[in-house]
Structure 1
Amino acid sequence: MLMFQENEYVMYGLTGVCKLAEKRTETSGDHKGVEYYILYPVKDESAKIMIPVRLGQGRMRGLITKEELKKHLMQLQEEDIWVDDLKERGKDFQERLKTGEFYQWLAISSCLYGEKKRKVLEGKKLSMVDEKVMKDAWTLLCEEVLYGLEITEDQMKRLINEEEEL
Protein backbone atom coordinates (compact mmCIF):
# COMPACT_ATOMS: atom_id res chain seq x y z
CA MET A 1 0.00 0.00 0.00
CA LEU A 2 1.35 3.41 -0.99
CA MET A 3 1.80 5.69 1.99
CA PHE A 4 1.97 9.45 1.83
CA GLN A 5 3.94 11.78 4.07
CA GLU A 6 2.91 14.98 5.83
CA ASN A 7 3.61 18.18 3.85
CA GLU A 8 3.72 16.20 0.59
CA TYR A 9 1.74 17.40 -2.43
CA VAL A 10 -0.67 14.84 -3.88
CA MET A 11 -3.37 14.71 -6.55
CA TYR A 12 -6.83 14.08 -5.16
CA GLY A 13 -9.41 13.12 -7.80
CA LEU A 14 -10.73 16.10 -9.74
CA THR A 15 -10.02 18.42 -6.81
CA GLY A 16 -6.46 18.78 -8.08
CA VAL A 17 -3.21 19.25 -6.21
CA CYS A 18 -3.55 19.20 -2.43
CA LYS A 19 -1.08 19.56 0.40
CA LEU A 20 -1.26 16.64 2.80
CA ALA A 21 -1.10 18.59 6.04
CA GLU A 22 -1.28 15.68 8.43
CA LYS A 23 -2.37 12.15 9.12
CA ARG A 24 -4.32 11.83 12.34
CA THR A 25 -6.55 9.46 14.25
CA GLU A 26 -9.95 10.62 15.45
CA THR A 27 -10.13 10.51 19.23
CA SER A 28 -13.88 10.84 19.76
CA GLY A 29 -17.29 10.38 18.18
CA ASP A 30 -18.54 7.75 15.75
CA HIS A 31 -15.22 7.69 13.91
CA LYS A 32 -13.03 7.21 16.99
CA GLY A 33 -9.88 5.31 16.05
CA VAL A 34 -10.23 6.01 12.31
CA GLU A 35 -7.06 7.36 10.71
CA TYR A 36 -7.48 10.29 8.29
CA TYR A 37 -5.41 12.19 5.77
CA ILE A 38 -6.06 15.94 6.11
CA LEU A 39 -5.71 17.68 2.73
CA TYR A 40 -5.82 21.32 1.71
CA PRO A 41 -6.38 22.03 -2.02
CA VAL A 42 -3.73 24.45 -3.32
CA LYS A 43 -6.34 26.46 -5.19
CA ASP A 44 -8.41 26.93 -2.02
CA GLU A 45 -6.34 26.48 1.13
CA SER A 46 -9.32 27.39 3.30
CA ALA A 47 -11.01 24.17 2.16
CA LYS A 48 -10.21 21.10 4.24
CA ILE A 49 -10.66 17.53 3.02
CA MET A 50 -10.58 14.57 5.40
CA ILE A 51 -10.07 11.17 3.80
CA PRO A 52 -9.97 7.90 5.72
CA VAL A 53 -6.48 6.46 5.14
CA ARG A 54 -8.01 3.10 4.19
CA LEU A 55 -10.02 4.79 1.39
CA GLY A 56 -7.55 7.48 0.36
CA GLN A 57 -5.55 5.26 -1.95
CA GLY A 58 -8.41 5.09 -4.45
CA ARG A 59 -8.58 8.75 -5.44
CA MET A 60 -5.26 10.03 -4.14
CA ARG A 61 -1.92 9.61 -5.86
CA GLY A 62 1.53 11.12 -5.91
CA LEU A 63 2.39 13.86 -8.40
CA ILE A 64 3.85 12.93 -11.76
CA THR A 65 7.61 12.45 -12.09
CA LYS A 66 9.78 13.66 -14.95
CA GLU A 67 10.28 10.06 -16.12
CA GLU A 68 6.52 9.42 -16.16
CA LEU A 69 5.92 12.62 -18.11
CA LYS A 70 8.52 11.61 -20.72
CA LYS A 71 6.87 8.18 -21.04
CA HIS A 72 3.41 9.73 -21.43
CA LEU A 73 4.61 12.21 -24.06
CA MET A 74 6.08 9.31 -26.07
CA GLN A 75 2.90 7.25 -25.65
CA LEU A 76 0.85 10.24 -26.77
CA GLN A 77 2.47 10.13 -30.20
CA GLU A 78 1.22 6.56 -30.69
CA GLU A 79 -2.43 6.98 -29.70
CA ASP A 80 -5.33 8.79 -31.35
CA ILE A 81 -8.32 9.14 -29.02
CA TRP A 82 -10.51 11.24 -31.33
CA VAL A 83 -14.14 10.08 -31.60
CA ASP A 84 -16.07 11.57 -34.54
CA ASP A 85 -19.51 11.57 -32.92
CA LEU A 86 -19.78 14.63 -30.63
CA LYS A 87 -22.08 12.95 -28.10
CA GLU A 88 -19.90 9.82 -27.88
CA ARG A 89 -16.73 11.90 -27.72
CA GLY A 90 -18.16 14.00 -24.89
CA LYS A 91 -19.05 10.86 -22.95
CA ASP A 92 -15.68 9.21 -23.64
CA PHE A 93 -13.67 12.29 -22.72
CA GLN A 94 -15.68 12.86 -19.51
CA GLU A 95 -14.95 9.26 -18.49
CA ARG A 96 -11.26 9.77 -19.24
CA LEU A 97 -11.26 13.00 -17.23
CA LYS A 98 -12.86 11.32 -14.20
CA THR A 99 -10.18 8.60 -14.02
CA GLY A 100 -7.86 11.07 -12.31
CA GLU A 101 -5.03 9.72 -14.47
CA PHE A 102 -2.49 12.22 -15.73
CA TYR A 103 -2.12 10.45 -19.07
CA GLN A 104 -5.85 10.72 -19.79
CA TRP A 105 -5.76 14.48 -19.11
CA LEU A 106 -2.73 14.79 -21.37
CA ALA A 107 -4.39 12.79 -24.16
CA ILE A 108 -7.60 14.87 -23.98
CA SER A 109 -5.67 18.15 -23.92
CA SER A 110 -3.44 17.19 -26.81
CA CYS A 111 -6.27 15.80 -28.95
CA LEU A 112 -8.58 18.77 -28.45
CA TYR A 113 -5.79 21.34 -28.72
CA GLY A 114 -4.91 19.85 -32.13
CA GLU A 115 -8.56 19.89 -33.15
CA LYS A 116 -8.89 23.50 -32.00
CA LYS A 117 -5.91 24.52 -34.17
CA ARG A 118 -7.49 22.77 -37.19
CA LYS A 119 -10.85 24.45 -36.57
CA VAL A 120 -9.25 27.91 -36.32
CA LEU A 121 -7.67 27.41 -39.74
CA GLU A 122 -11.16 26.67 -41.10
CA GLY A 123 -12.63 29.72 -39.36
CA LYS A 124 -14.54 27.51 -36.91
CA LYS A 125 -14.55 26.88 -33.17
CA LEU A 126 -14.58 23.83 -30.94
CA SER A 127 -17.96 22.76 -29.62
CA MET A 128 -18.81 23.99 -26.11
CA VAL A 129 -18.58 20.39 -24.85
CA ASP A 130 -15.07 19.96 -26.28
CA GLU A 131 -13.98 23.39 -25.04
CA LYS A 132 -15.12 22.64 -21.47
CA VAL A 133 -13.55 19.20 -21.20
CA MET A 134 -10.31 20.54 -22.72
CA LYS A 135 -10.25 23.38 -20.17
CA ASP A 136 -10.94 21.00 -17.26
CA ALA A 137 -8.25 18.50 -18.34
CA TRP A 138 -5.74 21.25 -19.09
CA THR A 139 -6.28 22.95 -15.71
CA LEU A 140 -5.67 19.71 -13.78
CA LEU A 141 -2.69 18.79 -15.92
CA CYS A 142 -1.02 22.21 -15.62
CA GLU A 143 -1.58 22.36 -11.87
CA GLU A 144 0.07 18.97 -11.45
CA VAL A 145 3.15 19.69 -13.58
CA LEU A 146 3.58 23.10 -11.95
CA TYR A 147 3.64 21.66 -8.41
CA GLY A 148 5.31 18.37 -9.28
CA LEU A 149 7.92 19.45 -11.83
CA GLU A 150 7.85 23.26 -11.82
CA ILE A 151 6.82 23.26 -15.49
CA THR A 152 4.76 26.26 -16.56
CA GLU A 153 1.67 26.19 -18.77
CA ASP A 154 3.64 27.64 -21.71
CA GLN A 155 6.38 25.03 -21.32
CA MET A 156 3.72 22.30 -21.23
CA LYS A 157 2.21 23.56 -24.50
CA ARG A 158 5.65 23.42 -26.13
CA LEU A 159 6.21 19.87 -24.83
CA ILE A 160 2.88 18.67 -26.24
CA ASN A 161 3.60 20.34 -29.59
CA GLU A 162 7.05 18.71 -29.60
CA GLU A 163 8.66 22.17 -29.73
CA GLU A 164 10.61 21.46 -26.56
CA GLU A 165 12.11 18.45 -24.80
CA LEU A 166 12.29 17.67 -21.10
Structure 2
Amino acid sequence: MTDQDGIDRARDTILHSHPGLDTIVTMSGVMIPEDLRDPAHFSAAEKTIDTNLLGTIRVIDAFTPHLIGRGTGTIITVTSGIGFLPFPVMPTYAASKAGVHAYSEALRAQLDGTGIEVSELVPPAVATTPEQAQHNPRALKLAEFATEVMDLLGPTPLRTRSSSRAC
Protein backbone atom coordinates (compact mmCIF):
# COMPACT_ATOMS: atom_id res chain seq x y z
CA MET A 1 0.00 0.00 0.00
CA THR A 2 2.96 2.30 0.47
CA ASP A 3 4.87 1.39 -2.70
CA GLN A 4 3.45 3.06 -5.82
CA ASP A 5 5.58 0.93 -8.14
CA GLY A 6 4.29 -2.23 -6.45
CA ILE A 7 0.71 -1.04 -6.78
CA ASP A 8 1.24 -0.23 -10.46
CA ARG A 9 2.77 -3.68 -11.09
CA ALA A 10 -0.15 -5.34 -9.28
CA ARG A 11 -2.64 -3.28 -11.31
CA ASP A 12 -0.96 -4.23 -14.58
CA THR A 13 -0.89 -7.92 -13.64
CA ILE A 14 -4.53 -7.88 -12.51
CA LEU A 15 -5.78 -6.02 -15.58
CA HIS A 16 -3.79 -8.31 -17.89
CA SER A 17 -5.48 -11.36 -16.34
CA HIS A 18 -8.87 -9.70 -15.76
CA PRO A 19 -9.41 -6.98 -18.37
CA GLY A 20 -13.11 -6.84 -17.50
CA LEU A 21 -12.42 -5.89 -13.89
CA ASP A 22 -15.29 -3.72 -12.69
CA THR A 23 -14.88 -3.51 -8.90
CA ILE A 24 -12.08 -2.23 -6.70
CA VAL A 25 -12.12 -2.73 -2.93
CA THR A 26 -9.64 -0.73 -0.88
CA MET A 27 -9.13 -2.22 2.54
CA SER A 28 -5.81 -0.91 3.78
CA GLY A 29 -5.39 -0.70 7.49
CA VAL A 30 -2.71 -0.68 10.11
CA MET A 31 -3.57 -0.01 13.76
CA ILE A 32 -0.71 1.24 15.92
CA PRO A 33 -1.28 2.41 19.50
CA GLU A 34 0.09 5.89 20.17
CA ASP A 35 0.93 7.97 23.21
CA LEU A 36 0.51 11.55 22.02
CA ARG A 37 2.52 12.80 25.00
CA ASP A 38 5.59 11.12 23.51
CA PRO A 39 6.98 12.80 20.36
CA ALA A 40 8.18 9.35 19.24
CA HIS A 41 4.55 8.59 18.29
CA PHE A 42 5.04 10.55 15.07
CA SER A 43 6.60 7.60 13.23
CA ALA A 44 3.52 5.49 14.04
CA ALA A 45 1.26 8.32 12.87
CA GLU A 46 3.21 8.70 9.65
CA LYS A 47 3.05 4.95 8.90
CA THR A 48 -0.68 4.88 9.68
CA ILE A 49 -1.51 7.79 7.37
CA ASP A 50 0.78 6.46 4.62
CA THR A 51 -0.86 3.04 4.73
CA ASN A 52 -4.49 3.75 5.57
CA LEU A 53 -5.19 7.02 3.79
CA LEU A 54 -2.51 7.45 1.14
CA GLY A 55 -2.49 3.71 0.38
CA THR A 56 -6.21 3.88 -0.32
CA ILE A 57 -5.72 6.89 -2.59
CA ARG A 58 -2.82 5.19 -4.43
CA VAL A 59 -4.93 2.11 -5.24
CA ILE A 60 -7.93 4.17 -6.31
CA ASP A 61 -5.73 6.34 -8.53
CA ALA A 62 -4.17 3.25 -10.09
CA PHE A 63 -7.51 1.75 -11.15
CA THR A 64 -9.76 4.77 -11.76
CA PRO A 65 -8.62 5.35 -15.38
CA HIS A 66 -9.51 1.72 -16.18
CA LEU A 67 -12.98 2.07 -14.67
CA ILE A 68 -13.58 5.42 -16.37
CA GLY A 69 -12.51 3.82 -19.66
CA ARG A 70 -15.10 1.09 -19.12
CA GLY A 71 -17.79 3.66 -18.34
CA THR A 72 -18.98 1.55 -15.44
CA GLY A 73 -17.72 0.04 -12.23
CA THR A 74 -17.64 0.23 -8.48
CA ILE A 75 -15.09 1.45 -5.98
CA ILE A 76 -15.65 0.25 -2.43
CA THR A 77 -13.65 1.88 0.33
CA VAL A 78 -13.43 0.28 3.75
CA THR A 79 -13.33 2.72 6.63
CA SER A 80 -14.23 2.02 10.24
CA GLY A 81 -16.79 3.00 12.82
CA ILE A 82 -13.77 4.30 14.72
CA GLY A 83 -13.45 7.05 12.11
CA PHE A 84 -16.62 8.60 13.51
CA LEU A 85 -15.75 8.40 17.22
CA PRO A 86 -12.89 9.44 19.45
CA PHE A 87 -10.42 6.58 19.86
CA PRO A 88 -7.75 7.72 22.34
CA VAL A 89 -5.61 4.58 22.05
CA MET A 90 -5.14 4.91 18.27
CA PRO A 91 -5.94 8.52 17.35
CA THR A 92 -4.18 8.51 13.99
CA TYR A 93 -5.99 5.31 12.97
CA ALA A 94 -9.29 7.07 13.70
CA ALA A 95 -8.15 10.16 11.81
CA SER A 96 -6.98 8.11 8.83
CA LYS A 97 -10.31 6.30 8.56
CA ALA A 98 -12.17 9.62 8.88
CA GLY A 99 -9.95 10.83 6.05
CA VAL A 100 -10.87 7.84 3.88
CA HIS A 101 -14.54 8.60 4.59
CA ALA A 102 -14.13 12.23 3.48
CA TYR A 103 -12.12 11.14 0.43
CA SER A 104 -14.85 8.62 -0.50
CA GLU A 105 -17.49 11.37 -0.35
CA ALA A 106 -15.41 13.65 -2.60
CA LEU A 107 -14.62 10.78 -5.00
CA ARG A 108 -18.33 9.96 -5.26
CA ALA A 109 -19.10 13.57 -6.17
CA GLN A 110 -16.28 13.86 -8.70
CA LEU A 111 -17.12 10.56 -10.41
CA ASP A 112 -20.83 11.41 -10.66
CA GLY A 113 -21.93 10.87 -14.24
CA THR A 114 -19.03 8.57 -15.16
CA GLY A 115 -20.91 5.34 -14.49
CA ILE A 116 -18.69 4.56 -11.50
CA GLU A 117 -20.38 4.00 -8.16
CA VAL A 118 -18.46 4.75 -4.96
CA SER A 119 -19.58 2.88 -1.86
CA GLU A 120 -18.19 2.90 1.65
CA LEU A 121 -18.16 -0.09 3.95
CA VAL A 122 -18.04 0.97 7.61
CA PRO A 123 -17.28 -2.11 9.70
CA PRO A 124 -18.16 -2.30 13.37
CA ALA A 125 -15.74 -3.93 15.80
CA VAL A 126 -14.60 -7.17 14.18
CA ALA A 127 -12.52 -9.77 16.00
CA THR A 128 -10.00 -10.96 13.45
CA THR A 129 -8.16 -13.08 16.04
CA PRO A 130 -9.25 -15.12 19.07
CA GLU A 131 -7.36 -12.65 21.29
CA GLN A 132 -9.41 -9.75 19.95
CA ALA A 133 -12.60 -11.71 20.62
CA GLN A 134 -11.52 -12.15 24.25
CA HIS A 135 -10.75 -8.44 24.63
CA ASN A 136 -14.02 -7.36 23.06
CA PRO A 137 -16.77 -9.96 23.43
CA ARG A 138 -19.19 -7.63 21.59
CA ALA A 139 -17.07 -7.69 18.42
CA LEU A 140 -18.35 -9.69 15.48
CA LYS A 141 -16.40 -12.80 14.63
CA LEU A 142 -14.56 -12.44 11.34
CA ALA A 143 -16.51 -15.23 9.61
CA GLU A 144 -19.83 -13.73 10.71
CA PHE A 145 -18.78 -10.30 9.46
CA ALA A 146 -17.54 -11.71 6.13
CA THR A 147 -20.86 -13.48 5.60
CA GLU A 148 -22.79 -10.32 6.39
CA VAL A 149 -20.70 -8.27 3.96
CA MET A 150 -21.13 -10.82 1.19
CA ASP A 151 -24.89 -10.77 1.82
CA LEU A 152 -24.84 -6.98 1.53
CA LEU A 153 -22.84 -7.09 -1.70
CA GLY A 154 -24.62 -10.07 -3.24
CA PRO A 155 -27.11 -10.00 -6.13
CA THR A 156 -30.00 -9.44 -3.67
CA PRO A 157 -28.47 -7.22 -0.98
CA LEU A 158 -29.80 -7.45 2.53
CA ARG A 159 -29.49 -3.71 3.14
CA THR A 160 -31.71 -3.77 6.21
CA ARG A 161 -29.05 -5.73 8.09
CA SER A 162 -26.42 -3.06 7.51
CA SER A 163 -28.16 -0.48 9.67
CA SER A 164 -28.19 -2.81 12.68
CA ARG A 165 -24.41 -3.33 12.55
CA ALA A 166 -23.01 -0.03 11.31
CA CYS A 167 -20.52 1.65 13.64
Same fold flag (TM > 0.5): no
Whose strand proportion is higher, 1 or 2? 1
| Greater gyration radius | 1
Whose helix proportion is higher, 1 or 2? 2
TM range (shorter): 0.3 to 0.5
Q: TM-score, normalised by structure 2?
A: 0.32
Q: TM-score, normalised by structure 1?
A: 0.32
